[in-house]
Amino acid sequence: MEVRWFRSEITPFVHLYQHKQDEYVQQMPEYRGRTKLLKASITEGIVDLRIINVRHSDKGLYRCSVQDGDFHEESVLELEVAALGSAPRISVEGHQDGGIRVVCQSAGWYPQPQVLWRDPKGQPLSASTETKSEEEGGFFQIKNSIVVTENSNKNLSC
């Protein structure tokens, strides 16, 4: 039996199982040490692949080819990748335009996050500035600010 997980080309592969063992000689370098074929249900036709330490570059189409004697089957799946960033951190950064500038920051997101300020009733508030940057590893950091004046509600969330 041969089970081959691959992206666009059969070789190099994401993971290969043949002759009752895993093969790594022509494995794609970016998957080296990060894949494992779960073999507990392989005789039932279940050929699950586990990718460890998933990266945003892992997203996309994967193909699985199973060959056993005259039997051959191939299927395609699409992997979506997301990373939940850090809890939003709210801080005060001084005076601006007759009010106080309040900043909301968070990091470690994928894909790019959106920040929404809300008043205590859940109504959206308009932000004044926003900056997004890409961190090492392809994750995103965001910094968004709003100016709170004396007349505006003092309770808000981001």
Structure confidence by residue, pLDDT tens digits, 44-77 = 889 999 999 998 899 999 999 999 999 999 999 9
pLDDT reported for residue 11:
86
- Asked if domains 2-79 and 89-148 share a fold, the reply is yes
The encoded tokens of residue 12 equal 């190099």
| CATH number belonging to domain 89-148 | 2.60.40.10
CA distance 130 to 145: 6
* Domain spanning 2-79, CATH architecture: Sandwich (2.60)
Burial bucket for residue 117 (CB in 10 Å: 0-12, 13-18, 19+): buried
Q: pTM value?
A: 0.72
Residue with tokens 């890409």: 134
Place of tokens 């056993």: 68
